[in-house]
Chain A
Amino acid sequence: MFRKLALIALLAAIAGGLAFFWLTSPKRMEAKAMAGMPQGVADRGELVFWAGGCASCHAAEKAEGDDKLKLGGGVVLKTGFGDFIAPNISSHAADGIGAWSLQDFAAAMRLGVSPEGYHYYPSFPYGSYARISDNDVADLWAFMQTLPAVDSKAPEHDLAFPFSVRRGIGVWKLLYADPSPVINIDGNDAVLLRGRYLVEGLGHCGECHTPRDFAGGLIRERWLAGAPNPEGEGRIPNITSGEGGIGSWSVGDIAYYLETGFTPDFDSVGGSMVKVQENMAMLSPEDRAAIAAYLKAVPEHASEK
């Protein structure tokens, strides 16, 4: 009797382990979906590049001007889970991602899976990038291949156990990966839809402006309501129209801030938002206005006291 029970327990454990292994295994995009990827256009990809904020983490810490196009990585994101270090994503074949295919790139951007088939940590915001269109992924890839090759390998992440176990990211993805839109937009308002695409997808604004639960999953019920600064001091501001947010800002005020870095009362942008604002300044006035329109449309949340 006892042996039988033990055998059942053992089988259950094996089955559980297999299920865990299967459920958490890095899924590659289906070949069929990949076959439909369009040919990218590098010129169009430049705007995708700025909207996506790639340089903010993957260029050197104080890069200005053309140095923002040297994507050698190395920027450290200090968090409660440990130090995440942005890798080299330049066109260098060995140290960067120059040897990748468009399919490899799309799987990395939208599924958070490497060409070797392991999970990336969600410090790489593929949870947001999952919403990027095929065209933008292809254009971005075309543009990034025109950028300089940087020969230097960035160090590995320095994380505490159990976050250092990559397999755990598979569980994280099961729990949190959800490329569906966060905010419902009624009807076919092209400006709001564009704004949503830029904020929820490419711009990945929610990654910092939305609070996270204990396991680092975004709390959608508090979308853009502000959050503790993952890097330590201060708070990331509430950018909804709720109390403590930016309800008093007009659409024009928000667009002006994204363009110039000045708030309506002429305080200046600061902290890690400086790099973001400089990226937003590269977009078209229509795109900045679309972001502003979307931010005015999201549900209001009061700031956490």
Chain B
Amino acid sequence: MRKSLFVLSMLAVSGVTAVASEDPVATRKALMQSNGAAAGLSGGMMKGEIPYNAAAAKAALASFNAAATAFGDYFPEGSDMDANTTASPKIWEDMEGFEAELDKFQTAAAAAMQAAGKDGPADLDAFKAAAGSVLGTCKDCHEGYRVKN
């Protein structure tokens, strides 16, 4: 059982890699959609529209952290020409600046994940502090490196 699970998970991982190398735009979009969903859940709880739940809070933070870790790998040279992308050409003109913004996101997400502990942030205030620092990095990067239509 354990072995088959392992094989399954390897398959899943290799599946992801295969998709990624074929279509970096689709992959980074999927990662950003998962960020969006996690932000929606976080924001709903922060605004009081969704009752606070520590496990859900942890899932949101974990999702930010996973996306932050992987996101930067899906911006190969030439992937700015895709009609579907809202990534700004500035990313490739100023890769260093883009990576600096990405680094802020990764640092904040990793710290939030750490703070969440095993059971997730103890209460809404703890979650607000953790998620707030992650959400604060969204616009820093979207200011210069995303194009909206």
Q: Which residues of A contact B (CB under 8 A)?
A: 233-235, 237, 256, 261-262, 265-272, 274-275, 277
Residues of B within 8 A of A272 (CB): 143
Q: Are B149 and A261 in contact (CB under 8 A)?
A: no
Closest to B146 in A: A270
The proximity string for B residues 73-113 relative to A, scoring 1 for CB distances below 8 Å and 0 otherwise, is: 00000000000000011000000000000000000000000
If A233-B89, A261-B139, A274-B142 touch, whether A266 touches B43 (CB-CB below 8 Å) is yes
Residues of B within 8 A of A270 (CB): 139, 142-143, 146, 148
25 A-B pairs with C-beta separation under 8 A: A233-B89, A233-B147, A234-B147, A234-B148, A234-B149, A235-B148, A235-B149, A262-B39, A262-B43, A265-B40, A266-B36, A266-B40, A266-B42, A267-B39, A268-B39, A268-B135, A268-B138, A268-B139, A268-B142, A269-B139, A270-B142, A271-B142, A271-B146, A274-B140, A277-B139
- What 8 A-B pairs come out closest when comparing CB atoms? A270-B142, A268-B138, A266-B39, A274-B143, A234-B147, A266-B40, A233-B147, A266-B43
Q: Which residues of B contact A (CB under 8 A)?
A: 36, 39-40, 42-43, 47, 88-89, 135, 138-140, 142-143, 146-149
If A233-B88, A265-B40 touch, whether A271 touches B138 (CB-CB below 8 Å) is no
Residues of A within 8 A of B142 (CB): 268-271, 274
Residues of A within 8 A of B143 (CB): 270-272, 274-275
A269 to B47 alpha-carbon distance, docked (Å): 18
A233 to B146 alpha-carbon distance, docked (Å): 10
Tell which of B36, B88, B139, B140 has the most Cβ of chain A within 10 Å: B139
